[in-house]
Amino acid sequence: MQLLDGNLTAKTIKSEIAAMVLDLLAKNGKRPHLAAVLVGENGASMTYVGAKVRACEEVGFASTLIQKSADCTESDLLKIVYGLNDDESIDGYIIQLPLPSHINEKKILEAVDPRKDVDGFHPENIGRMALNLPCFLPATPAGIMTLLERYHIETTGKHCVVLGRSHIVGMPMTLLMQRNAQPGNCTVTVLHSKSKDISNHCRQADIIIAAIGQPGFVKADMVKEGAVVIDVGITRVPDFNKKSGFRLSGDVAFEEVAPKCAFITPVPGGVGPMTIVSLLSNTFLAAENKLMSKS
């Protein structure tokens, strides 16, 4: 069994990006610039945005954090979005989710210029991904594809089972793993809350990607000997032995599943660190302006 070390891989890629930033600076004086919009005081959101801004600094990006209080109206937020679309100094930006309930999330995300949509959430980017056109891939799926690539995991002709059909992980993973690309070319089965015989499907899989947010859902008897297991889940589980009062748990019962695997991601330290790295890669691509022409 080999661990897919997200921390290590993320570190490697960050130093690659840092070197590319120096190159870009030397060539045309351009420093990639990511903006993040945070509405309200959700603790987890503040932590995530903070980590993203710090990651930008680590690799030499410029970053701008726009914070609005929770009473920010939808039309005020739309104005910010339009401003960011027009601001030529901003290469890409993200709207940290979730937004307060009085704001229509879909409306906001659709207003983002697809060419600055480094989160890859805009319908046009999702569609371009499905059609195998250049696009910004959503960060977590892109991070998983990079892990598979960096560890030279053969995917062609393998049977990949995706647990979950969320718009930000499961659905994109289904598209990415089946498409004619490397990594890709898998037979893909997608399972979700309405699926039956989940154990039976999982047992047939060469690759399992679990993204349902149910701690320890994937048990040893659901995994084939020699499988590759990617654990996207990250749930806080009460744990009174920890100072914080909780520990982070993935969707996979790691202790019992790991011994059967060829490769497995730990939680934390697997998929998580790769997500931020994908955001940085997307922002660098946006700064290079190579993906989609800005008309």
Catalytic residue ranges: 52, 96, 119
CB of 159 to a copy of itself, least distance (A): 8
Q: Check whether the bond before 268 is cis (ω within 30° of 0).
A: yes
Q: Cβ closer to a copy of itself: 19 or 131?
A: 131
Q: Cβ closer to a copy of itself: 42 or 185?
A: 185
- The DSSP-derived string for 143-198 is HHHHHHHHTT---TT-EEEEE---TTTHHHHHHHHHSSSSS---EEEEE-TT-S-H
Contact 164, 210 (CB under 8 A): yes
Q: Cβ closer to a copy of itself: 20 or 198?
A: 198
Q: Which stretch binds a copy of itself (CB under 8 A): 26-34, 74-82, 117-125, 222-230?
A: 117-125
Query: What character string, x for contact with a copy of itself (CB under 8 A) and - otherwise, covers 19-58?
Result: ----------------------------------------
- For position 75 contacting a copy of itself by CB under 8 A, the verdict is no
Residues 122-141 binding a copy of itself (CB under 8 A) are: 122-133, 135
Q: Cβ closer to a copy of itself: 136 or 284?
A: 136
CB of 194 to a copy of itself, least distance (A): 4
Report the C-alpha gap between 60 and 50 in whole angstroms. 16
Q: Cβ closer to a copy of itself: 106 or 152?
A: 106
Looking only at Cα atoms, what is the longest distance across the chain? 56
CB of 10 to a copy of itself, least distance (A): 27
Contact 55, 276 (CB under 8 A): yes
Contact 260, 226 (CB under 8 A): yes
CB of 123 to a copy of itself, least distance (A): 3
Residues 167-206 binding a copy of itself (CB under 8 A) are: 167, 171, 174-175, 178-180, 185-192, 194-197, 201
* DSSP structure class, residue 260: G
Report the C-alpha gap between 9 and 150 in whole angstroms. 8
Q: How many residues appear in the chain?
A: 295
Of 158, 261, 249, which is closest to residue 212 (Cα–Cα)? 249
CB of 183 to a copy of itself, least distance (A): 12
Report the C-alpha gap between 70 and 80 in whole angstroms. 15
Which parts of this chain interact with a copy of itself (CB under 8 A)?
A: 106, 122-133, 135, 156-157, 159, 165, 167, 171, 174-175, 178-180, 185-192, 194-197, 201
